[in-house]
Amino acid sequence: MTNYSIVRSGNEYIVQADEKSVLKISSRRRAAKLVTDASELLEASAPAGEGASIAREPKGVADPVEVS
């Protein structure tokens, strides 16, 4: 799960996701609303089972030993 924070910088607020700045906005309320919306969207799109992997084994790729 991503950790969000809002940091004040002068007259602006910077939204951070895991220590990385992702958005600069002038309203703290708007920043808080965007963080809430983003968090809800990420939770809604998460796989049903925790630990479920999206990556799948590629099909049709030869074993490196077999390739000449």
Residues in Cβ contact with 55 at an 8 Å cutoff, skipping those fewer than 6 apart? none
Residue 68 belongs to a domain: no
Q: Where is pLDDT greater, at 66 or 16?
A: 16
Residue 45: per-residue pLDDT: 84
* Domain range for 21: 4-45
Statement: residue 3 has pLDDT above 50: yes
| Distance of alpha carbon 15 from alpha carbon 7, whole angstroms | 7
Q: Could you tell me if residue 65 is inside a domain? A: no
pLDDT at 50: 53
Residue 34 half-sphere exposure toward CB, CA atoms < 13 A: 18
Determine, yes or no, domain membership for 64: no
> For 1-68, where are the alpha helices, taking DSSP H only?
28-45
Residue 58 lies in a domain: no
